[in-house]
Structure 1
Amino acid sequence: MTPSLRSLVVNYRPELRDTIRLSVPIIIAQLGVVLMGVTDNLFVGRLLGAVPLGAAGLANSLSFLMSSIGVGGLTVVAALVSKAHNQNDPAGINRLFRAGLRVSILMSFGLGGLSVLLAFNFDLFGQTPEVARLARDFMLVLSGSLLPLLIFVAARQLCDGLRFPRVAMAITLSALFINAGFNYVLITGAGPFPALGLQGSALATLLSRVFMAVAMLLYIYRSGRFKPYLINAFRSLTTRQEAWEILRLGIPGGLTFFFEVATFSLAVVIVGWLGEDRLAAHQIAINMASVTYMMATGISSAAAIRVSAAIGQQSRTGAWRAGVAAFLLSISFMGVMAVLFLTANEWLVTLYIRDNPAVMTIAASLVIVAGFFQLSDGIQVVALGGLRGISDVNVPTLITLFSYWVVALPLSYVLAFPLKMDAIGVWIGLLSGLTIAAVLLTWRFFRLISRLQLPAENESVKLIVPQG
């Protein structure tokens, strides 16, 4: 570590410590969402082979694409809850919580319907007939799981915004074990359960998400720490204004998330045109990158909560320092992940598949490229979190649209087919889009923070941090 970097870390030690304390449970909870797809792919790849793995990967990617608008959009609720909490407004927190649940139900029906339509039109993506058939049935089950998933995401925003992220963490970890257990017994038919093959993996995800939603709501309504925000007097308060505010901020925020997820999902389709072995290899590499990305989104969520809390306390310097701390933490973590991907790529691939040398060789090369874009991915997602904390969502949406759909996807296609770089070309295109997004979003965050019409420092107030 250079002296200047060491000095920066020491100077920001309190912010780094608070960001780590807040982000680690969020990271684990965020990982739970994506790790269900990873768990599905691990069991499918080991128990059923390369073609079902490609189909499950395609369905998981496109289902995650559909849910991304809801998942990404609902994260604005935590920042709004944090701001209301630091303004000592329990009634406002109650309205935001109930409005978030209403919006989650609305989104789940809309996005679930689109998922069903997509499932019945897999032939549009040019996949092999067997992959399309298996992926369609898998995705129909995942479409039904959007309702419990988005209810869970909406409910956990109350916990995260009030700085109780361990609740979602504990529930998610429990759900992962449930998902893994059901994957095994429903795929293979262990004990009294029938052997359902690939469909058993999809049902495991559905059951796990139902558990997550029910457990989260039960905890919130039965735990004493949330009683000040759920008193009976608040039930008569209308939530229409808060619902519109969540939609106003959440839809652009969700689209920002959607554009990135869509890029990677459509990259799956492009790679599928290259062949089933490339598709399976791509799915292995993208699963690894998804894990590190979701961990970075935990830091991003912490950035949004801490920046919005500083805004609620009228402290521009606090918002600036919260942002810098999140960037430092993300760069450090993603740097370690980059080294891991670059040096242990072959071993990582063996966690997914061992009996197909062609797939393993391609996947190992893709993991190397994934190692190079770790830093860009981590920086851009933290910048988005910081911007969400200051309620800036429209311009970031345009930046991500340009970076991913104007640059990354067309470049991926050109490199893969006209320039004949195969699957590696697709990943180089993705790396280019991520890097452009990281530069533009980071520049916008610090530019807006420097222009905030707030006192440079407000010593008379302290951030309210509940204990427990």
Structure 2
Amino acid sequence: MIGFFATYKEHYNALLRLGIPIVIGQLGMIILGFADTMMVGQHSTIELAAASFVNNVFTLAIIFSTGFSYGLTPIVGSLFGKGDSTGAGQALKNSLAANILVALLITFIMFVIYLNVHNFGQPKELLPLIRPYFLILLASLIFVLIFNSFKQFADGITDTKASMWILLIGNTLHIILNYLLIYGKLGLPEMGLMGAGLSTLISRILMALAFAGIFLYSKRYAIYLKGFKLKGFSHSIFKRLNELGWPIALQMGMETASFTFSTVMVGWLGSIALASHQVMLTISSLCFMIYYGMGAAIAVRVSNFRGQNDIVNVRRSAYAGFHIIAMMAVISAGSIFLLRNYLGGMFTDSPEVSQTVVALIFPFLLYQFGDGTQITFANALRGIADVKPMMYIAFISYFLISIPAGYFFGFILNWGIVGIWMSFPFGLSSAGIMFYLRFRKRTLL
């Protein structure tokens, strides 16, 4: 046991130093998600149901876009490992251009969805709330992608604290604006769900501008400006960003799509089921974002060692990260189980929603270990730039296993919302096992 710990001690320490600031930043986003859901839910249950549909549709768009931006991390991480600051700066410039183009594409696709939102089978009373909220979030998408470019660059050079502070400050501002605009405080109009959307737009604009200012004017990033200011764009880097970014985007997008399709199916069951689903997704995202914060550290650490062609430490970094995330899963799942009877009441005063939330705790607990496993080894594969097989694994796990299982359990067996949630352990665990087997094969000594 002592020898085992000694083997991984260096990696535990390094991953925690890198990962804790990312996790703290992610926790800020989770607190924001909790605040959004609680404030909107306390204002109106019907607004909470509308927010559930729109937020989950946009989660798919944002996760897909974020996945594309993750293509920058292995490139910058490898260049950082080699000490090539000029190349890293040039990679950021190319990433910004690529991410803005992707943002415009996703915005167009989401606008088409907006025009057809009445065809998704959602309760008719929600449509007047869904439509304006949808448009406000749509306007914020491009700023998410700009922020992500700077964040992935900063993570790749191991400066994870910059994004932590921007996320914490930006999300604190968001929560304050939520309170003022949802409830109409300090003489502002009471806007309800529209107020939540407007505060989202404002905070995303300010966070993107803040990161751009830090990169352009802080001493920490001065050595990267030379490459960033080079005229023109690098065809090879731009091509590499697309080669890495699209497979990651598709992998993460298909995972998120399984949750988005589940939201559509839950909407067929009515507003109470949809509101309960939103509460549980908010709780679930707490665990996911904590795991993914550490997963991002795994990707950075693995990419740094890959740049040095050190396969032994590539493997050890990934396995050390898995140990940490497994421990996080035990702690978080255990805590949520103990609080299961109180969670629904934190978000809404509806007893029906609270009862449904308790019923969903069991499938939630079942998929925590699978979720942690797939996050660990998806990020490890990203770190070694072995991303194309991830698309096929995600397609099998989520489109061939998870989504059909949700429909089968929920509607063929008539288990309702609990049956839809029972599909998640199957999809996430399948992905985790296959990602692990692929990583082990690619890093054999």
Structure 2: distance between partners of 1:93 and 1:33: 27
User: Counterparts in 2 of 1:373-388, with a 5 A limit?
Assistant: 373-388=367-382
Structure 2: distance between partners of 1:114 and 1:209: 20
- Same amino acid, percent of matched pairs: 28
Amino acid at match of 2:252: F
CA RMSD after TM alignment: 1.5
Alignment of 1:430 onto 2:430? no
Alignment of 1:101 onto 2:96? yes
Give the alignment partner of residue 332 of structure 1, picking from 327, 342, 362. Answer: 327
Give the alignment partner of residue 218 of structure 2, picking from 223, 241, 244. Answer: 223
Alignment of 1:295 onto 2:290? yes
Displacement after TM superposition at 1:241 (Å): 2.2
User: Counterparts in 2 of 1:229-268, with a 5 A limit?
Assistant: 229-231=224-226, 234-236=229-231, 238-268=233-263
Displacement after TM superposition at 1:312 (Å): 0.7
- Partner of 1:465 in structure 2? none
- Partner of 1:128 in structure 2? 123
SS, match of residue 59 in structure 1: helix
Amino acid at match of 2:370: S
Alignment of 1:365 onto 2:359? yes
Moved more, 394-403 or 133-142: 133-142
Alignment of 1:421 onto 2:397? no
Closer, same or farther in 2 for the Cα pair 1:439/1:238, shift >3 Å?
A: same
SS, match of residue 351 in structure 1: helix
- Partner of 1:24 in structure 2? 20
Structure 2: distance between partners of 1:259 and 1:38: 24
Structure 1: distance between partners of 2:157 and 2:140: 27
- Partner of 1:458 in structure 2? none
When normalised by structure 1's length, the TM-score is: 0.92
Alignment of 1:45 onto 2:41? yes
Does the 8 A contact of 1:323 with 1:386 survive in 2? yes
Amino acid at match of 1:306: R
Does the 8 A contact of 1:78 with 1:160 survive in 2? yes
Give the alignment partner of residue 8 of structure 1, picking from 1, 4, 12. Answer: 4
- Partner of 2:109 in structure 1? 114
Displacement after TM superposition at 1:133 (Å): 2.8
Give the alignment partner of residue 447 of structure 1, picking from 438, 441, 445. Answer: 441
Structure 1: distance between partners of 2:309 and 2:48: 51
Structure 2: distance between partners of 1:214 and 1:131: 34
- Partner of 1:182 in structure 2? 177
SS, match of residue 231 in structure 1: helix
SS, match of residue 283 in structure 1: helix
Structure 2: distance between partners of 1:148 and 1:238: 21
Structure 1: distance between partners of 2:232 and 2:85: 12
Displacement after TM superposition at 1:35 (Å): 4.7
Alignment of 1:390 onto 2:384? yes
CA deviations on 1:320-362 (whole Å, 9 max, x unpaired) are 1111111111111011111122221122222212x21111000
Indicate the structure whose relative CO is greater, using CA pairs within 8 Å and at least 6 residues apart.
Answer: 2
Closer, same or farther in 2 for the Cα pair 1:407/1:233, shift >3 Å?
A: closer
Alignment of 1:411 onto 2:405? yes
User: Counterparts in 2 of 1:269-348, with a 5 A limit?
Assistant: 269-348=264-343
Does the 8 A contact of 2:166 with 2:207 survive in 1? yes
Displacement after TM superposition at 1:123 (Å): 1.9
CA deviations on 1:250-286 (whole Å, 9 max, x unpaired) are 0110111101111111111111111211111111011
Amino acid at match of 1:428: M
CA deviations on 1:418-466 (whole Å, 9 max, x unpaired) are 1011111111111111111111111111111116xxxxxxxxxxxxxxx
CA deviations on 1:135-192 (whole Å, 9 max, x unpaired) are 2221111111011111001111221111111100001001111111111111122123
Structure 2 portions without partners, runs of 5+: none
SS, match of residue 450 in structure 1: coil
Structure 1 portions without partners, runs of 5+: 452-468
Amino acid at match of 1:391: A
Structure 1: distance between partners of 2:209 and 2:78: 27
Displacement after TM superposition at 1:124 (Å): 2.1
CA deviations on 1:112-148 (whole Å, 9 max, x unpaired) are 1111221221222211112233122211111110111
Amino acid at match of 2:129: L
SS, match of residue 277 in structure 1: helix
Give the alignment partner of residue 168 of structure 2, picking from 154, 168, 173. Answer: 173
Closer, same or farther in 2 for the Cα pair 1:233/1:421, shift >3 Å?
A: closer
Displacement after TM superposition at 1:76 (Å): 2.2
Structure 2: distance between partners of 1:199 and 1:414: 36
Does the 8 A contact of 1:115 with 1:140 survive in 2? no
Structure 2: distance between partners of 1:233 and 1:97: 7
- Partner of 1:88 in structure 2? 83
SS, match of residue 22 in structure 2: helix
When normalised by structure 2's length, the TM-score is: 0.97
Amino acid at match of 2:113: L
Does the 8 A contact of 1:409 with 1:429 survive in 2? yes
Closer, same or farther in 2 for the Cα pair 1:30/1:367, shift >3 Å?
A: same
Alignment of 1:58 onto 2:53? yes
Does the 8 A contact of 1:120 with 1:136 survive in 2? no
Does the 8 A contact of 2:86 with 2:227 survive in 1? no
Closer, same or farther in 2 for the Cα pair 1:324/1:195, shift >3 Å?
A: same
Alignment of 1:208 onto 2:203? yes
Does the 8 A contact of 2:251 with 2:391 survive in 1? yes
Structure 1: distance between partners of 2:277 and 2:8: 39
Structure 2: distance between partners of 1:235 and 1:342: 54
Displacement after TM superposition at 1:248 (Å): 1.2
Moved more, 385-394 or 86-95: 86-95
